Amino acid sequence: MRSRSTVIGGFVCVIALASLAGCGSEVDTDERAIEAVLAELRRAQEASDGETACRRVYVVAEAWEKFGNKETGEGEGEGVVAACQAAFAAAVEHRQSEITDLSTSLGEIEVDGNQATAVVHTELQRADGSLLSQDASYDLVRTADGWRVRISDEG
């Protein structure tokens, strides 16, 4: 195995890539696409850009299938975007008020067809001075528009 590190918009990415001959370029392409969407999420968080996060990064697959067209905003799907943006804004506000220092790095990515899981390692310092180091798994799904971070329709 060899590893590759890049910095994209403040998101330090480390991806383990198999160095075996014949390892498919489709996997590498998927990993790069997943890396890019997670970097876009990080940039959206830093910029408090709920519009980008909710239209280009996140997908609530069940809600869009049930309520309307995400891209055109037709149908009740636009309500899903509004709810996503409100939740995103609340999360960003909480992060800005409670966290004084934050760094993330992208670890292992596992792709299984149209589903994937990416592990993001986070280190942060809270406003009270306490430290936290944790790994969080992100579920992703391949959509017609590319890889998106899957979020629950419950919030």
Domain ranges of the chain: 2-150
Provide the residue type at 13 as one letter: C
pLDDT at site 76: 52
Q: What is the sign, positive or negative, of the torsion defined by CA atoms of 46, 84, 53, 61?
A: positive
Q: Are 1 and 17 in contact (CB under 8 A)?
A: yes
Higher pLDDT, 122 or 26: 122
Tens-digit pLDDT profile for residues 39-62: 999 999 999 999 999 989 998 755
What SS3 class is residue 115? strand
Q: Give start and end residues of each alpha helix (H) in 10-151.
A: 25-47, 50-52, 61-67, 77-98
Q: Is the pLDDT of residue 140 over 60?
A: yes
pLDDT at site 118: 97
Q: Are 13 and 7 in contact (CB under 8 A)?
A: yes
Q: Residue 12: in which H helix or E strand, if any? A: strand 11-17
What SS3 class is residue 10? coil
**What superfamily would CATH give domain 2-150?**
NTF2-like; domain 1 (3.10.450.100)
Tens-digit pLDDT profile for residues 72-118: 444 456 778 888 899 999 999 999 999 999 999 999 999 999 999 99
